[in-house]
């Protein structure tokens, strides 16, 4: 539950609530006043009872028996739990016969004993049956019922007939007149092209039909988070000027069993009434993950029901009604196969991460309204952000603007952008997390090692920046290289040299401090990874030949949870390990050679880095070339 205030039910406007005819409202509304009265009356009843009891003095059972033996009992009332009564003894204070009560031991001889001593007694059912009944049954159940009622109301506006949770009272809101268009989506031309067809269809459903065409029922947008899938779905509705019903898969997870399925049903009912229109199911993987994965992997009764309902609905409608179902996911591979079958989401549109030109376009779009200084080159920003998605770039533009305000700039400068990139890339600068001088010295040499090695290898990408300002949790410093052009292939030599560069940091530490530190861990990991894929996936080892070893089983789209299946012998496994080790070792050797032969330049780089904390590509170039 997200909201905790009991008075509002989501998706309902209060004014509508008030204008409703007051038909038997008593049972519909959680009636706080009534409840308060009830509690008050019952508690006073209980209290009064308690007081009545305490007017009588409790006496030990043994004393009671003595009174019986002494024939001092005037009368007694016996219930299962207590014996109350009056003594023949007069109380000094009240001048009345003393009253008493006692809790008896269950004693079968009591009746005979009383009779023998001539005591008049009555046997009654426990006089507290009423209270017991009320407190142990009526109130708890009443409270439960009341609570359930409130929950039912909150869950889906099922206030009218709350026994029918998630009946047809579910409110689904369609957005119409969306003013998002394809102009708000920069780049992604391929995806846009495919979606244009759907827009045409939504604009004139009859026309496509008369030409004998058939629309796909469901279109699945797939791509990494932040690539603009949601944005694009909205733009389709905006372009076609049709209502947009959207629902997010994750919304279903917190609902009562049955509500999700009911919502899906209602969604399709309403969509049919408003056709042509778009139904958009965001984060489809939240409900559409493979069934039967078991609870540990998110197996969920509710989810399963919802998914089944969705499948049923998709089978049950035909595209000529003008309803188009769009869905988005960043994990298409975990979707239940049944969803991807023909007649369901049988068309997939891949929304790629933006390339250089697209990144530039996105940056331009998001800085359109901003005051940008003349020195800002968005091209460089785009170059510096390979792998960034639209959401990241928007974030950069935003961070740059915030930074400019903080620094009191009249316009957003290139410096603001640089800082914004760094911030988005590696978390906010951790200047306060100061390294001690020893550590700083070490990091300076480490990063200089990377830079120096990179400068001495023919295929290495140019250095853009070397920094020893600590950022985020892991990185104490970094050496940033930038590709001249976007690259899609790597040669064996390039990959080997990458390993060498990665080992440059550690090698520098070895040479300067005759010792290594934990700071190189990430470098080694990446170097090993590269070597591994060279040997096992890319057939770049001569001894193992152009074969692939091990089947990669990707469980998730972007996450690392890849499992490897072995399809080779122990012997081969040993060979693979050897080859990986050789590759990394070779890189290490080469890095050591480069650094020892240019030790003076390493020192220069490190001292300049210590002094300035950040060196630009040109500054590094200068030092490497002239030694100054
Ligand atoms: P997804 O649904 O794929 O995770 P979103 O559609 O929610 O991504 O994108 C988040 C934000 O990123 C959008 O609101 C938009 O501002 C920005 N964005 C993403 N891709 C683009 C793009 N191609 N053009 C312009 N802005 C984009
Ligand atoms: Mg989204
Ligand atoms: Zn390093």
The band of 554, judged by pLDDT with boundaries at 50, 70 and 90, is: very low
**CA 497 to centroid of ligand 3, rounded, Å:** 15
Residues present in the chain in total: 628
Question: Which of the four pLDDT bands, split at 50, 70 and 90, describes residue 576?
Answer: very high
Cβ of 396 below 6 Å from ligand 1:
no
How remote is the CA of residue 234 from the centroid of ligand 1, in Å?
A: 11
Q: Is 226 in the pocket of ligand 1 (CB under 6 A)?
A: yes
Assess whether 447 carries a catalytic annotation.
Answer: yes
393 lines ligand 1 (CB under 6 A): no
- Indicate which residue of 304, 394, 399, 447 is catalytic: 447
Q: Which CATH number fits domain 437-627: 3.40.50.2300, 3.20.20.70, 1.20.58.760, 3.40.50.2000?
A: 1.20.58.760
DSSP letter string, 186-208: -S-HHHHHHHHHHHHHHH-HHHH
**Identical fold between 171-293+302-350 and 356-426:** no
More confident residue, 77 or 457: 457
Is there an atom of ligand 1 within 6 Å of 205 CB?
Answer: no
Contact partners, residue 258, CB within 8 Å, separation at least 6 = 165, 166, 302, 305
The closest residue, in CA terms, to atom 11 on ligand 1 is: 391
Atom of ligand 1 nearest to the CA of 391: 12
Give the pTM.
Answer: 0.55
Taking the C-alpha atoms of residue 226 and residue 391, their distance in angstroms, rounded to an integer, is 5
Question: Which fold, 356-426?
Answer: Helicase, Ruva Protein; domain 3 (1.10.8)
103: which 2 tokens? 């809790």
CA distance 474 to 526: 14
CB 159 within 8 A of CB 216: no
Least confidently predicted of 11-25, 106-120, 260-274: 11-25
Instruction: Convert 207-237 to b/e letters by CB count within 10 Å (16 or more is b).
Output: ebeeeeeebbbbbbbbbbebbbbbbbbbbbb
Query: Which residues on neighbouring strands pair with residue 37, listed in sequence order?
Result: none
Report the separation in Å between the CA atom of 448 and the middle of ligand 3, taken as the mean of its atom positions: 9
- At 483-521, the pLDDT tens digits run 666 667 889 999 999 999 999 999 999 999 998 888 888
Task: Verify whether ligand 1 is closer than 6 Å to residue 230 (CB atom).
Answer: yes
pLDDT digits (tens, 9 = 90+) for 161-198: 444 444 444 556 778 778 899 999 998 888 999 899 88
d(CA 592, CA 71): 111
Ligand lying nearest the CA atom of residue 505: 3
Ligand 1 within 6 A of CB of 185: yes
Sequence ranges of the domains in the chain? 59-125, 171-293+302-350, 356-426, 437-627
Does residue 229's CB lie within 6 angstroms of at least one atom of ligand 1?
yes
Q: Tens digit of pLDDT for each residue in 388-432?
A: 889 999 999 999 999 999 999 999 999 999 999 888 876 554 444
Out of 221, 223, 231, give the residue to mutate to test ligand 1, the one with the largest number of ligand atoms within 8 Å of its CB: 231
Ligand 1, atom 14: nearest CA belongs to which residue?
Answer: 231
Residue 191 CA: which ligand is closest?
1
Whether domain 171-293+302-350 has CATH 3.40.50.300: the reply is yes
The chain-wide mean pLDDT, for the chain, equals 79
């Amino acid at each position: 539950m997200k909201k905790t205030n009991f008075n509002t039910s989501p998706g309902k406007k209060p004014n509508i609530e008030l204008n409703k005819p007051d038909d038997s409202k008593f049972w519909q509304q959680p009636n706080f006043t009534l409840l308060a009265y009830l509690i008050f009356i019952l508690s006073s009843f209980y209290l009064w009872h308690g007081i009545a009891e305490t007017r009588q003095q409790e006496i030990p059972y043994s004393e009671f028996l003595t009174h019986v033996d002494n024939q001092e009992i005037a009368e007694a009332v016996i219930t299962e739990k207590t014996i109350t009564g009056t003594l023949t003894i007069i109380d000094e204070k009240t001048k009345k016969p003393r009253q008493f009560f006692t809790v008896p031991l269950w004693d079968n001889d009591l009746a005979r004993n009383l009779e023998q001593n001539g005591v008049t007694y009555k046997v009654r059912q426990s006089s507290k049956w009423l209270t017991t009944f009320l407190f142990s049954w009526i109130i708890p159940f009443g409270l439960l019922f009341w609570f359930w009622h409130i929950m039912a109301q909150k869950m889906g506006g099922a206030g009218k007939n709350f026994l029918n949770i998630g009946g047809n009272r579910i409110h689904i809101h369609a957005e119409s007149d969306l003013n998002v268009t394809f102009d708000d989506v920069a780049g992604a031309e391929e995806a846009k092209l495919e979606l244009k067809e759907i827009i045409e269809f939504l604009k004139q459903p009859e026309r496509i039909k008369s030409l004998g065409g058939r629309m796909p029922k469901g279109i699945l947008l797939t791509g990494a988070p932040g690539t603009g899938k949601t944005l694009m779905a909205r733009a389709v509705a905006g372009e076609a000027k049709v209502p947009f019903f959207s629902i997010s898969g994750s919304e279903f997870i917190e609902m009562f069993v049955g509500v999700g399925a009911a919502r899906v049903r209602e969604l399709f009912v309403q969509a049919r009434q408003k056709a042509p229109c778009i139904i958009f199911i965001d984060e489809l993987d939240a409900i559409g993950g493979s069934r039967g994965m078991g609870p540990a992997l998110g197996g969920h009764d509710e989810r399963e029901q919802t998914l089944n309902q969705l499948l049923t609905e998709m089978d049950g409608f035909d595209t000529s009604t003008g309803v188009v179902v769009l869905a988005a996911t960043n994990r298409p591979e975990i979707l239940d196969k049944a969803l991807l079958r023909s007649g369901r989401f049988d068309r997939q549109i891949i929304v790629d991460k933006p390339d250089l030109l697209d990144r530039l376009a996105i940056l331009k779009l998001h800085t359109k309204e901003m005051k940008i200084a003349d020195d800002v080159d968005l091209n460089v920003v785009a170059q510096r952000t390979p792998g960034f998605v639209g959401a990241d770039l928007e974030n950069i533009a935003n961070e740059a603007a915030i930074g400019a305000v903080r620094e009191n700039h009249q316009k957003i400068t290139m410096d603001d952008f640089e800082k914004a990139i760094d911030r988005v890339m590696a978390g906010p600068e951790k200047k306060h997390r100061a390294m001690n001088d020893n550590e700083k010295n070490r990091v300076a040499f480490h990063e200089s090692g990377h830079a120096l090695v990179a400068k001495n290898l023919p295929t290495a990408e140019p250095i853009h920046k070397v920094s020893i300002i600590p950022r985020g949790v892991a990185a104490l410093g970094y050496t940033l290289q930038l590709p001249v052009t976007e690259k899609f292939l790597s040669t064996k030599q390039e990959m080997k040299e990458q390993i060498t560069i990665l080992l440059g940091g550690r090698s520098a530490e070895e040479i300067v401090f005759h010792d290594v530190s934990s700071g190189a861990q990430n470098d080694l990991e990446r170097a090993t990874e590269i070597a591994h894929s060279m040997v096992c996936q890319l057939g770049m080892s001569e001894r193992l030949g152009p074969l692939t070893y091990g089947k990669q089983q990707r469980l998730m789209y972007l996450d690392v949870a890849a499992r490897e299946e072995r399809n080779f012998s122990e012997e081969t496994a040993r060979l693979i390990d050897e080859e990986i080790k050789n590759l990394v070792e070779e890189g290490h050797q080469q890095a050591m050679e480069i650094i020892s032969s240019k030790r003076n330049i390493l020192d220069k780089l490190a001292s300049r880095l210590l002094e300035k904390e950040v060196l630009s590509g040109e500054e590094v170039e200068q030092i490497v070339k002239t030694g100054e």
